[in-house]
């Protein structure tokens, strides 16, 4: 009769021993992974150093304390050479529960609660802003496949200064997930908004209803290039202030606002060349003028990823490394950066503001520009930068504006007060004169101009433009 009981007790004891052993093993693996992550961060970001790292490990849990130093303490000579002169430390404490059973209900490698450890002077300010709540909480779940999910939360806060300044924070919620090596990431962020104001100056900056999400994958071993998609929206971005109107000290209100903004971006890599595109759509107002529609599209083409990663890595090391030798040679740094930059040029990189369009009052104005290089060879890379740009650089710019907008702008009270604004009849005569000289192209409602530069030749509205002379008639 006792044998089945002994068997059950033995089975339970074996299972308990296996669980304890498994938890201890998982805890060791988690400890190794966290240390490896810290090493990757300090390798990629030389301005971050781990000055202290403690790990108090038990059977089922552990506490990790990490102190990171950002920046370097530089001498006055190094600071004068452009190196950041100051540094600050940040301490993070992590309470880790080992798997395989975490939270009492789910399987996984670990659950990590992270918190900031603030100095006493900072704690007083935070307590004033957030009350008894923690300013930021981060909960991370790590699976056996080394994938993680982190949830960040920040509560509402308010800080008011006796001098009239005020900061109102509406909180933050965010989720990040990916693999422990940082090869892929997915995120979603929601921020109700914040407001900064100064009653004495009559100034206020407001942002509200921000939502953002995206996913990406790291390209190569560097964190400086990610391929993926992002999208987001902002309900309101607003800036108001009081502007001086006259020399007597009178002021008038000024308001600039963008509403219902929608963002969309995508970056792809093909044969080591990065292409990225981004768009923005929205509405708004500017100093009492309602903007019915705002459109913007920008792109980056043919950025050679290995060369760019090498450029960023060397830039980080040269600008932010905290080495013992602080002798800085600005000329050597500039030469090294120029050499890295030259490696990008044979791939014909180009940046473009493909479209910036505004509609209001039933009219539409557009602006676009682009600049880059084309056809750069290894021999060209030996040329001085200015000579290289003059022979291989390419640029274009186009603008088209309704004439009525120019009239409305010149009719504004501040411009009228200067006494320099022309009357409408004179303005039309001036535009006609510029059109006759080839500086602009005019139709019944619009004035436009187009500039092209390639092969050392500059053209305005399709005609050569020698420096200092109008286009050929």
pLDDT band, residue 378 (cuts 50/70/90): confident
Instruction: Look at residue 256 in the predicted model and tell me its pLDDT.
Output: 92
pLDDT, residue 383, reads: 80
Write down the pLDDT at residue 434.
Answer: 87
Mean pLDDT computed over every residue of the chain: 82
Per the CB < 8 A criterion, the answer to whether 225 and 183 are in contact is no
**pLDDT above 90 as % of the chain:** 35
Long-range contacts, 425-434 (Cβ 8 Å, 24+): 428/403, 431/403, 431/406
How many other C-beta atoms can be found within 10 angstroms of the C-beta atom of residue 358? 20
- For residue 321, what pLDDT is reported? 62
Q: Which of 64-73, 181-190, 331-340 has the highest mean pLDDT?
A: 181-190
Question: Beta-carbon neighbour count of residue 219 at 10 Å?
Answer: 22
Assess whether pLDDT exceeds 60 at residue 461.
Answer: yes
Per-residue pLDDT averaged across 402-425, rounded?
73
Q: Is the dihedral of CA 332, 335, 341, 343 positive or negative?
A: negative
Mean pLDDT score, 42-48: 77
| Tens of pLDDT, residues 201-223 | 889 999 999 999 999 999 887 77
Determine if the peptide bond prior to 100 is cis (ω within 30°): yes
pTM: 0.81
76: helix, coil or strand? Answer: helix
* Residue 76, φ and ψ in degrees, nearest 5: -60, -35
Most confident stretch, 274-283, 323-332, 371-380, 452-461: 274-283
Q: What is the DSSP string of 433-468?
A: HHHHTTS-EE-SSEEEEEEEEETTEEEETTEE--TT
**Residue linked to tokens 């409305």:** 408
Whether the per-residue pLDDT at 10 is higher than 50: the answer is no
Mean pLDDT for the stretch of residues 379-383: 79
Using the predicted structure, report yes or no on whether residue 127 has a pLDDT greater than 60.
yes
Using the Cα atoms of residue 443, residue 447, residue 448 and residue 449 in order, give the sign of their dihedral: positive
pLDDT tens digits, one per residue of 86-113: 777 888 888 888 877 776 667 888 888 9
pLDDT above 70 covers a percentage of the chain that reads: 82
For the chain, domain boundaries: 219-361, 365-473
pLDDT recorded at residue 41? 76
Give the SS3 label for residue 6: helix
Q: Which residues contact 148 (CB under 8 A, 6 or more apart)?
A: 140, 141, 142, 176, 177, 178, 179, 180
Q: Provide the pLDDT for residue 454.
A: 92
φ/ψ of residue 193, rounded to 5: 140, 180
What pLDDT shows up at residue 8? 41
- Extended strands (E) in 155-250: 157-160, 165-169, 172-179, 184-198, 203-218, 226-244
pLDDT score of 424 more than 80: no
């Amino acid at each position: 009769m006792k044998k089945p009981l002994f068997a059950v007790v033995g089975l339970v004891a074996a299972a308990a021993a296996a669980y304890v052993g498994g938890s201890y093993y998982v805890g060791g693996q988690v400890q190794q992974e966290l240390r490896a992550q810290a090493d990757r961060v300090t390798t990629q970001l030389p301005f971050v150093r781990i000055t202290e790292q403690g790990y108090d490990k038990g059977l089922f849990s552990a506490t990790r304390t990490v102190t990171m130093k950002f920046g370097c303490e530089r001498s006055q000579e190094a600071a004068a050479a452009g190196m950041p002169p100051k540094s600050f430390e940040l301490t993070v404490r992590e309470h880790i529960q080992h798997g395989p059973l975490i939270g009492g209900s789910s399987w996984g490698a670990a659950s990590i609660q992270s918190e900031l450890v603030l100095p006493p002077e900072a704690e007083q300010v935070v307590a004033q802003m957030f009350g008894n709540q923690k300013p930021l909480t981060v909960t991370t779940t790590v699976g056996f496949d080394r994938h993680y999910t982190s949830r960040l939360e920040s509560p509402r806060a308010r800080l008011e200064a006796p001098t009239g300044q005020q900061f109102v924070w509406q909180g933050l919620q965010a989720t990040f997930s990916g693999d422990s090596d940082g090869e892929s990431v997915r995120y979603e962020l929601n921020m109700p908004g914040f407001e900064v104001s100064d009653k004495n100056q009559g100034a206020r900056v407001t942002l509200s209803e921000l939502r953002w999400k995206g996913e990406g994958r790291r390209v190569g071993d560097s964190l400086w290039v990610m391929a993926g998609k992002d999208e987001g929206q902002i309900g309101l971005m607003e800036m108001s202030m009081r502007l001086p109107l006259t020399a007597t000290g009178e002021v008038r209100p000024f308001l600039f606002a963008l509403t219902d903004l929608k963002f969309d971006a995508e970056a792809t890599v093909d044969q080591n060349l990065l292409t990225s595109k981004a768009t923005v759509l929205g509405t708004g107002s500017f100093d009492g003028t309602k903007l019915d529609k705002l459109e913007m599209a920008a792109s980056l083409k043919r950025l050679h990823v290995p060369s760019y990663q090498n450029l960023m890595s060397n830039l980080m090391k040269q600008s932010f490394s905290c080495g013992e030798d602080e002798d800085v040679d600005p000329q050597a740094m500039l030469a090294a950066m120029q050499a890295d930059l030259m490696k990008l040029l044979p791939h014909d990189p180009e940046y473009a503001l493909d479209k910036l369009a505004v509609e209001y009052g039933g009219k539409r104005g557009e602006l676009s520009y682009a600049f880059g290089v084309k056809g750069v060879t290894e021999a060209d890379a030996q040329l001085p930068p200015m000579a290289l740009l003059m022979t291989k650089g390419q640029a274009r710019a186009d603008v088209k504006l309704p004439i009525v907008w120019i009239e409305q702008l010149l009719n504004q009270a501040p411009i009228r007060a200067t006494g320099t604004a022309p009357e409408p009849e004179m303005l039309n005569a001036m535009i006609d004169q510029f059109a006759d000289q080839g500086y602009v192209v005019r139709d019944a409602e619009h004035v436009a101009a187009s500039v092209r530069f390639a092969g050392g030749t500059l053209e305005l509205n399709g005609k050569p433009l020698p420096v200092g002379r109008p286009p050929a008639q």
